[in-house]
Amino acid sequence: MDAFLSALSMLTAVDALLAVVAGTLVGIIIGALPGLGSLLAITMALPLTFVLGQGASIALLLGIYCGSIYGGSLSAILINTPGTPQSAATVLDGFPMARRGDAGLALGWSTTASAFGGILATIILAVASPLLAKIGIRFGPVEYFALGLFALTCIVTVSRDNLVKGLLAGLLGLFVAVVGQDPVTGYLRYDFGVFDLSAGIGLVPFLVGLFALSEVFWRAAEKKDEIGPVIRSAFQLPGLAELRRRAMVLVKSSLIGTWIGTLPGVGAASASMVSYAEAKRSSPNNDKFGTGEPDGLIASEAANNAVSSGAMVPTLSLGVPGDPITAVMLGALVLQGVTPGPRLFLENQSLVLFIFMMLFVANICMFLGGMLMSPLFSRILRLPEPLLMACVVVLVATGTYSINANPFDLLVVLIAGIAGFLLRYNGFPLAPMVIGFVLSPMIEQSLRQGLILNQGSFIAFATSPIAAVLFALTALFLLWPVIRLVQRRLRPERRRRPSSDY
């Protein structure tokens, strides 16, 4: 009880509340600007934590973290460019919705789903953090490999128009990520003697080039006889009935996000992909995925925001950061004299409680901030297109350069942009390429670690219960169309029954 009261008094301190509001708003803006992501936002704030007190520092960082992940969805929906890698899966249904004229509703859904995911994850975190940490560490290389493989089935989902081209794009993505140091031997691969390639292709330059810059090229190449999308409303929250109808996807995606957040090193980008793949498998509306289906948008956004709470589990209870962003947060905590780890929960309960409460507040701020700011952002769609596109180019270039001050990254942006344009021109979907790229390191490293640990035997991969379940889900997903076909053949009377699926 004492711990609770002292946490509450930390929470109601003026500087902490101001910090969380400011952090969230700044986070949303930075997240929404393509190329500038959560990591940059939080690194920029790190020096501020030297001057702020403990409570305010933590509040600021949590606000930025939640805000920036949500912010990425704004540009994903409005200009077909994920503002942060975490929103890569949001583009798939978000942008088609906006193009259809439902930008306001899409923003409403992403705001609702993000806040819901974040809040549900926080509640779970507060209740079950130490337990989740225990389950999380049971994930070894074998289980990571199985998880990565399941997430990879996303490629099938997003290649609805042309599976062969989708698979090729996915393979290409897997391959591009192979450039650089071999994770096991340390040898260089495909560096062609160029030193800059030895560090591999960066996720941010690759992603913004592939999506944002190629979008600019695409629009420049398009004939200009169509007028931009008609926006029916700037921001529209989904109705209660709609919300109830999609509650299942919301809850499930939030749970997936929370759980993946607890696994160190997987991250929000992969989480939104796993969640998207699972929603596609189980949603009654799965035929419409990729054409502007709110379920797809919800799956991605609820999951990636749930990750930010989930990632606090290993960070706080094991002292191991879940992703690069929580690594910076861990650093900030250490500087404040807090040592995350198993002992934190015993020795500094009030601080742990404070962090949970602050996450809750940050998610509410994010919801309100989203309502306030997305109309502002949706106005950018009314900017003259040449101006908008020029702004995107400037942002992409400065944003990418600001991360590492490495001119080579700009070259990557340019090449990825041209490649993206050519791929789109030839009918290749871009999303599978990003999915392959994001998952490639995890799949490769865990596969090879698993093989090293099991003396080169694949059998161990099937004997782990967790991995076996994931493999089964993967197989089920891939065989689903076949199963459905067989079902229909066996029971032809079902065809006559009017179905709500279509």
Partner 1 sequence: MKITKSLSLAMTVALPALLASSLSLAEDFPVRPITEIVPYPAGGSTDLSGRAFAEALSDYFGVNVVADNRSGGGGSVGISALARARSDGYTIGVAPVGTIANQPHMHRTPYSAESFDYLCQFYYGSEVLVVKPDSPFSTLEEVIDYAKAHPGKLSFGTPGPGTLPHLDMLRLQQITGIELTHVPFAGDGPGLTALMGGHVDLYMALPNTVTDRNLDAVAIFSEEPMASLPGIKTVKAQGYDMTASVSGGLVAPKGLPSAIKQKLVEGCEQATKSEELKTVLGRVGFEARYLGPDEFRQLVEQTSEVNGRLIKEVIKKDGSR
Chain positions contacting partner 1, by CB under 8 A = 39, 42-43, 46-47, 50, 136-141, 180-188, 193, 195-196, 198-200, 202, 264-265, 314, 318-321, 324, 327-332, 334-335, 337, 339-343, 404-406, 441, 445, 449, 452-453
Query: Distance between CA 252 and CA 485 in Å, rounded?
Result: 27
- Assign 3-state DSSP to the chain and report helix, strand, coil percentages, each to 5: 75, 0, 25
CB of 159 or CB of 464, closer to partner 1: 464
Query: Distance between CA 385 and CA 222 in Å, rounded?
Result: 12
CB of 155 or CB of 203, closer to partner 1: 203
3-state secondary structure of 202: coil
Please, what is the minimum distance in Å from the beta carbon of residue 365 to partner 1? 23
Phi and psi at residue 142, to the nearest 5°? -60, -45
Query: Distance between CA 333 and CA 27 in Å, rounded?
Result: 19
Query: Distance between CA 100 and CA 93 in Å, rounded?
Result: 11
Please, what is the minimum distance in Å from the beta carbon of residue 41 to partner 1? 11
CB of 43 or CB of 282, closer to partner 1: 43
CA-to-CA dists, residue 114 to 230, 254, 276, 302, 502, angstroms: 25, 9, 14, 5, 28
CB of 158 or CB of 271, closer to partner 1: 271
3-state secondary structure of 234: coil
Burial class, 227, CB count within 10 angstroms (exposed 0-12 / middle 13-18 / buried 19+): exposed
3-state secondary structure of 72: helix
Closest by CA position to 351, among listed 105, 50, 57:
57
CB of 43 or CB of 350, closer to partner 1: 43
Please, what is the minimum distance in Å from the beta carbon of residue 342 to partner 1? 5
CB of 47 or CB of 498, closer to partner 1: 47
Please, what is the minimum distance in Å from the beta carbon of residue 315 to partner 1? 10
Please, what is the minimum distance in Å from the beta carbon of residue 404 to partner 1? 6
> According to DSSP H, which parts of 348-464 are helical?
349-378, 385-404, 407-425, 431-453, 459-463
Please, what is the minimum distance in Å from the beta carbon of residue 457 to partner 1? 13
Please, what is the minimum distance in Å from the beta carbon of residue 381 to partner 1? 34
CA-based angle 291:268:114, to the nearest 5? 65
CB of 181 or CB of 233, closer to partner 1: 181
CB of 229 or CB of 341, closer to partner 1: 341
Please, what is the minimum distance in Å from the beta carbon of residue 183 to partner 1? 6
